[in-house]
């Protein structure tokens, strides 16, 4: 396949990363990061890092992933401190 008709890995990762910001970010964002890393190894020096960036933004903004890594504890911390101080 020639280079002009091939859709690069970085481009696919970028598209998945942008879509992952809005829907199914707990699935699409890690895929975008992986595709961006593969794009970097294929010397796509602009689209690879953009795919990684959007993948990371999707991970940061995903409530499901934040809950899985324990960030929900930081949200409930003020309520916990308040309930303990009321005792």
pLDDT tens digits for 6-28?
Answer: 678 888 999 999 998 888 888 99
pLDDT at 2 over 70: no
Residue 24 domain-assigned?
A: yes
Query: What token pair was written down for 2?
Result: 């020639």
Please tell me the predicted confidence (pLDDT) of residue 36: 92
The chain-wide mean pLDDT, for the chain, equals: 81
Residue 46 domain-assigned?
A: yes
Tell me whether residue 33 is exposed, middle or buried, using C-beta atoms within 10 angstroms of its C-beta: 0 to 12, 13 to 18, 19 or more.
Answer: buried
Residue 76 domain-assigned?
A: yes
CA end-to-end span of the chain: 70
Range of the domain at 38: 9-85
pLDDT at 5 over 50: no
Residue 3 domain-assigned?
A: no
Tokens 């990684």, residue located: 52
Number of domains in the chain: 1
pTM: 0.67
Please tell me the predicted confidence (pLDDT) of residue 52: 93
Rounded Cα distance, 68 and 83, in Å: 24
């Amino acid at each position: 396949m020639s280079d002009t008709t091939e859709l690069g890995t970085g481009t696919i990762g970028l598209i998945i990363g942008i879509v992952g910001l809005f829907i199914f970010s707990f699935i699409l964002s890690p895929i975008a990061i992986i595709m961006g890393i593969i794009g970097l190894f294929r010397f796509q020096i602009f689209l690879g890092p953009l795919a990684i960036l959007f993948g990371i933004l999707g991970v940061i903004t995903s409530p499901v992933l934040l809950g899985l890594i324990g960030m929900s504890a930081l949200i409930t911390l003020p309520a916990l401190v308040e309930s303990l101080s009321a005792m």
